[in-house]
Structure 1
Amino acid sequence: MRETLAFPEARLATEDTQRASLVFCLLAAVVIAAALLGFATSLLQDPDSWWHIKVGTDLLASRTFPTVDAYSYTFAGHPWIAKEWLGQVLLALAYKAGGWNGVVLLAVAAIALTVFLMSWYLSAWLKPTLAIGLTLVLALLIGPIYVARPHIFTLPIIVVWTAGLFEAARNEKAPPLWLLALLCLWANLHATFTFGFVIAAFAGLDLLMRTRFSNPRQLAKWIAFGLLCPLVSLLNPYGIKAILATFTVAYGNEAVPYITEWQPFDASRHTLQEVALLMAFFGLLVSRLRIGWAKALFLVFALHVYLTHIRFMYLFFLLVPVVLAVEVAQQYPAFSAARWAAEKRDGLEQFFARHFSKVCAGIAVLPVLAAAAFMAYPVVPSQKTSARDALAFAESHNLSGNLLNSYDFGGTLIFHGIKTYIDGRADQLFLNGFTETDEQTGHSRGKPILKAQLEKYAIGWALLTADDSRIPFFDELGWKRAYADHYAVIYTRAD
């Protein structure tokens, strides 16, 4: 009789802990969403947001996928593909529906979903309070990448992809085939989908470490899955070109050293991240956590990519905790979800369990109300990237001809239909010495180089950021300063 009663009680206890854990995860997502909406303009600080929306808008209008550049005059007609077309279309639809507020809401939704998934996967092994606290800290650490660009949509995908594959390896099962559909979506959203191949390889190594060829049939399924990954990735408008385009950056090109997000990690500029890295490795050393050589290699890989290009900080801060959570829970039971589930539920957890539906409904209403309130106050990007007043001056004074622009104004120029000299598509364009030459025009001896560029491209006017190092050269070359504010300067030919 005791045994027959024990099972339902145990099942109810498990349901209560799962419900409480789910509510905690939802609350974490709401907290991060509310915080991001409070700093909405920070998500619009990247100049590339402008041209991504324009490309998406043009794709929706023409229903064709570009294969050559149509947005600059310096590289017009050169091969160029919109390899992030789906992410660009999503941004364009959000802009069409709600302007820049709509773009921010879409980006915030993607980040909030990532936070929910992170906390959910971590809480499967760690105490929910620990999992949620860790997730919020990690979300803060990768704050510099929170901008309205296509990569933001891949954050929840990469979390699910990594967690799913390493979970399958831990259970010595074949990778779930539905992950291939996720990879296909990833391949159309952003070029980082090739990281999925590498993550799958590390998960396969983890399986191999566990089975040591004792289950060749299972190993064969993993090999087949790995072979299917690149094949599934070909299901995009550009086929193999989308994969090849990623190598132009992975192996470096002349533009990479000059773009901030592609530069190596700099502790002087990312103090918070440096402290987090040092604390993480201090914890690994003193805890003597045993993680196996496959996961150790994955940790080294994620760290290497991050230190090489700061834009990939999320690979380390998001994925490493997901991969190592099971070892922490197993080797330190005090931190485990199992220990928490065995404890007596406190008042708050009991409340969540008893009123689960009402609490979830209440949590769901909060983002809706916040979004409605947010839409009432228009958000616009800073003039550091928009050059709004400067472009209004150029339009009112009918400035025309080829334009030399600072790199950070390239996106807004594309958005407004003005052909660029250079812009943020340097992963495929502005190569063969062009970017290096443009960089040299701003050096102390760059005046003759700048003069040559002005003549070579028949420049009629220039739109420069207020801190552009070439401004003194334009004065010395006799150009007329037609406009200036705190963000932009316009020069025209004296004649």
Structure 2
Amino acid sequence: MANRIIPVADTYSHTFAGQPWIAKEWLGQVLLASGYKAFGWSGVIVITIAAAGLTTFILAWYLSADLKPIIAIAVVMVVTSFASAVYNARPLIFSLPIVVLWTAVLFQAARERRAPPFWLLALIALWANLHGTFTFGFVIAAFAGLDFLERARFTQPRILAQWIAFGLLCPLVTLINPYGIQAILATFTVASGNEAVAHISEWNPFNARTDILPEVLLLTVVAALLVTRIRIRWTYAAFFIFTLHLFLAYSRFQYLWLLLVPIVLAVDVAEQFPPLSTRKWIGQSRDGLERAIVKHYRQITGVILVSWFAVCAIFLNFSTVAPSDKTSASGALAFAQTQGLSGNVFNSYNFGGTLIFHGIKTYIDGRTDQLFLNGFMNATAEMGTAAGKPILQKTIEEHDIKWALLLPNDARIPFFNELSGWHKAYGDEFAVVYINGN
């Protein structure tokens, strides 16, 4: 934003400076940065809440087309509760309303044996500039196209040709981004399982011993499917299994199963259990509250919108929110600034973002989809083992490390205490600073 230049090489770390790196989620980053530039951290929060709210609205809108309101609202509340882990200020948040809308519209078209709306191509082009998960759009479109084929067979060749054309155009329109095909290739770097995946918690697989509530939800859904004996189309079952695989394989992709499966299965549930359907609910007589809402829905909507904008205005003007010390290490970085610490830093992984924010080149940070590979991540992780001291010493020499910013529970701290010339200069409950006196 400052230089009007799209980055193509790393300028944020001292370990991989100059190596090829693309900001494939550049538009999402620009949106968050614009919010910060205009209103500080309050602006970032409002933008994030708006994206999460839009996701919830779209989900509720499409579910309520098949499930009666109280059921649709209950499902949305459960989904929102379990998916809330990804409702944070990262570019991913902007992809959530898109993936919900993309899935709902495509499966609806397949269900009604219609051609896919080609305006969705503009949506996935936007998605490709917001976040790297846009390649999931290709897969979702393929499942929807398969569902259309299963329903229509080959009785509608013209519409089938439109589905095929749509599928072929999907990857082509996503090339409309500053990096072209590089944006697509970068997403497959992680999907193929690079060395960083094993060391980052959000890329870890589902663990029933620690993910207790998600396990309860999974078992509840499986039990409901078994007890009710609901009949699910094989194409829907295949989509269910695909998203469930992502749920179990990568913690960060649990939201796809949570957000998308209800949209796909809502029609079958409503058809096989009429008491839950919107169609049956519409035929019932309205109670007093429902009649009042219908009569005054314009005024109610207006009050809600005015209240939303009023709350946002108050929040933006008077809020003093800031990132948690747990990730910002504000005390430690203030100490580093007052002491005039300079030179290359060795940092815990979680502090990469705050170092970049303060203009300090990192040893490592969260851009492990493209950088910190070729044995770097494995070596960094091995430093925390019993045999890690020689690796740490070699790294300090190789990268000319002058100081370190570490989590208080970093497994490498005992080695820093033993290294010649190093001493602990600062510590609080969130971070510690070590200085190389050599």
How far residue 367 of structure 1 moved from its aligned partner, in angstroms, is: 1.6
1:404 aligned counterpart, secondary structure: strand
Counterpart of 1:31 in structure 2 is none
Matched, 1:480 2:420: no
Matched, 1:66 2:4: no
Counterpart of 1:155 in structure 2 is 96
For residues 137-156 of structure 1, the aligned pairs below 5 Å read 137-156=78-97
Corresponding residue to 1:381 among 323, 328, 333: 323
Distance 1:91 1:480 in 2: 38
Matched, 1:87 2:28: yes
Distance 1:187 1:409 in 2: 28
How far residue 63 of structure 1 moved from its aligned partner, in angstroms, is: 1.1
Cα shift readout 1:33-76 (whole Å, capped 9, x = no counterpart): xxxxxxxxxxxxxxxxxxxxxxxxxxx11111101101001000
- What amino acid is the match of 2:415? F
Matched, 1:457 2:389: no
Counterpart of 1:415 in structure 2 is 357
Corresponding residue to 2:190 among 229, 249, 263: 249
Matched, 1:394 2:341: no
Corresponding residue to 1:443 among 363, 385, 388: 385
How far residue 382 of structure 1 moved from its aligned partner, in angstroms, is: 1.0
How far residue 284 of structure 1 moved from its aligned partner, in angstroms, is: 1.0
Distance 2:83 2:209 in 1: 16
Distance 1:288 1:178 in 2: 37
How far residue 467 of structure 1 moved from its aligned partner, in angstroms, is: 1.0
Matched, 1:470 2:393: no
Distance 2:326 2:379 in 1: 24
- What amino acid is the match of 1:188? N
1:327 aligned counterpart, secondary structure: helix
How far residue 434 of structure 1 moved from its aligned partner, in angstroms, is: 0.5
How far residue 370 of structure 1 moved from its aligned partner, in angstroms, is: 2.5
For residues 12-411 of structure 1, the aligned pairs below 5 Å read 60-375=1-316, 376-411=318-353
Cα shift readout 1:379-405 (whole Å, capped 9, x = no counterpart): 111111111111111111111111111
- Which ranges of 4 or more aligned residues in structure 1 deviate by more than 3 Å? none
2:177 aligned counterpart, secondary structure: coil
Counterpart of 2:433 in structure 1 is 490
1:62 aligned counterpart, secondary structure: coil
How far residue 181 of structure 1 moved from its aligned partner, in angstroms, is: 0.7
1:142 aligned counterpart, secondary structure: helix
Distance 1:241 1:265 in 2: 30
Superposition TM-score, scaled by structure 2 size: 0.98
2:117 aligned counterpart, secondary structure: coil
Q: What 5-or-longer segments of structure 1 have no aligned partner?
A: 1-59
Distance 1:147 1:110 in 2: 10
- What amino acid is the match of 1:258? H
Distance 2:252 2:73 in 1: 24
- What amino acid is the match of 1:272? L
1:237 aligned counterpart, secondary structure: coil
How far residue 269 of structure 1 moved from its aligned partner, in angstroms, is: 2.4
2:38 aligned counterpart, secondary structure: helix
How far residue 371 of structure 1 moved from its aligned partner, in angstroms, is: 2.0
Distance 2:13 2:20 in 1: 12
Distance 2:349 2:414 in 1: 18
How far residue 347 of structure 1 moved from its aligned partner, in angstroms, is: 1.0
Distance 2:226 2:149 in 1: 25
Cα shift readout 1:200-242 (whole Å, capped 9, x = no counterpart): 0000110111012121211111000000000011000000000
How far residue 359 of structure 1 moved from its aligned partner, in angstroms, is: 0.6
More helix by share: 1
- What amino acid is the match of 1:299? F
2:335 aligned counterpart, secondary structure: helix
Superposition TM-score, scaled by structure 1 size: 0.87
**Which structure carries more relative contact order (alpha carbon 8 Å, separation 6+)?**
1
Distance 1:326 1:473 in 2: 59
- What amino acid is the match of 2:434? Y
Distance 1:317 1:192 in 2: 16
- What amino acid is the match of 1:208? L
- What amino acid is the match of 1:224? A
Distance 1:204 1:342 in 2: 33
Cα shift readout 1:89-117 (whole Å, capped 9, x = no counterpart): 00000111111111111111111111111
How far residue 377 of structure 1 moved from its aligned partner, in angstroms, is: 2.6
2:403 aligned counterpart, secondary structure: strand
Distance 2:311 2:247 in 1: 34
1:174 aligned counterpart, secondary structure: coil
Distance 2:130 2:342 in 1: 35
- Aligned-residue CA RMSD (Å): 0.9
- What amino acid is the match of 1:493? N
Range that drifts further, 157-166 or 215-224: 215-224
2:2 aligned counterpart, secondary structure: helix
- What amino acid is the match of 2:390? P
Distance 1:466 1:480 in 2: 14
2:120 aligned counterpart, secondary structure: helix
- What amino acid is the match of 1:67? V
- What amino acid is the match of 2:427? A
